[in-house]
Amino acid sequence: MIRKTLTASLLALAVAAPFAHAYQPGDIIVRAGAATVDPREDSSDISIGGAPSGLKASLDSDTQLGVTGTYMLTEHIGIELLAVTPYTHTISVKGIGDLADTKHLPPTLSVQYYPIGGSYEVQPYVGAGLNYTTFFSEDLSSGAKGMGFSDLELDDSFGLAVEAGVDFLLTDNLLFNMSVWYADIDTTATAKLAGQKVKVDVDIDPWVYMVGLGYKF
């Protein structure tokens, strides 16, 4: 009888007790969810043959699958890599319309700080790191080709990135995550228009928002 009572008490304590440690050195945390990139672009004048045209470029937003992996160096410090499926953006010019579509990948490596640690089931964090963005599959619209545009290219970009997020531990391993990044992404787009060089500098500088689930290994 005493043994049964003790066993039942220990089981009750195990169920009611908080997680032994939210994150520990050596833990690997994988998160996945919907990641929306929202450009806050600032475009220079589009130059045609070296002369400013008074026109500016803009990009739309897109949502893709985002995946992050974090390796915990200590209870409070982690290293994170952000990856996504390729984003697709439509490049447009006011007064002209849609000019082209392009894809990009923005892998970002960050150092994260988890201030709470311990056994708390809510784990906020902040981070800072380096973003590399590569553009590819630049495809001019039929309208742009009809106007004489050709040979569109966008330069790759290196820049700083900062982030903030929070994990809600649902079990000892499963978690719900909300996170946001701000990345310094700058590119120079070049093309040709009836044989003349077209050039524009664009500070894309997007906010990236992700909501999803994660698992701690």
Whether 31 is in a domain gets the answer: yes
Q: Which pLDDT belongs to residue 62?
A: 97
Which of 213, 214, 210 shows the shortest CA–CA distance to 34? 210
Confirm if 209 and 64 have CB atoms less than 8 A apart: no
Percentage of the chain exceeding pLDDT 90: 78
In the block, which residue shows the tokens 């994990």?
167
pTM for the structure as a whole: 0.84
Whether 5 is in a domain gets the answer: no
State the chain's mean pLDDT as an integer: 90
pLDDT in tens, 10-21: 344 344 445 557
Whether 8 is in a domain gets the answer: no
pLDDT in tens, 18-70: 555 789 999 999 999 999 999 998 999 999 998 988 889 999 999 999 999 99
Structural domain boundaries, residue 187: 22-216
Domain count, the chain: 1
Q: Which pLDDT belongs to residue 22?
A: 87
Region 76-84: mean pLDDT is: 97
Whether 6 is in a domain gets the answer: no
CA atoms of 63 and 67, how far apart (whole Å): 13
Whether 184 is in a domain gets the answer: yes
Whether 7 is in a domain gets the answer: no
Q: Where are the beta strands (DSSP E) in 116-185?
A: 122-140, 149-154, 157-169, 174-183
Whether 109 is in a domain gets the answer: yes
Per-residue pLDDT band for 94 (boundaries 50, 70, 90) equals confident
CATH number at residue 158: 2.40.160.20
In the block, which residue shows the tokens 């003349």?
196
Whether 130 is in a domain gets the answer: yes
Q: What share of the chain is helix, strand, coil (3-state, %, to 5)?
A: 10, 60, 30
Higher pLDDT, 208 or 5: 208
Q: Which pLDDT belongs to residue 65?
A: 98
Q: Which pLDDT belongs to residue 1?
A: 52
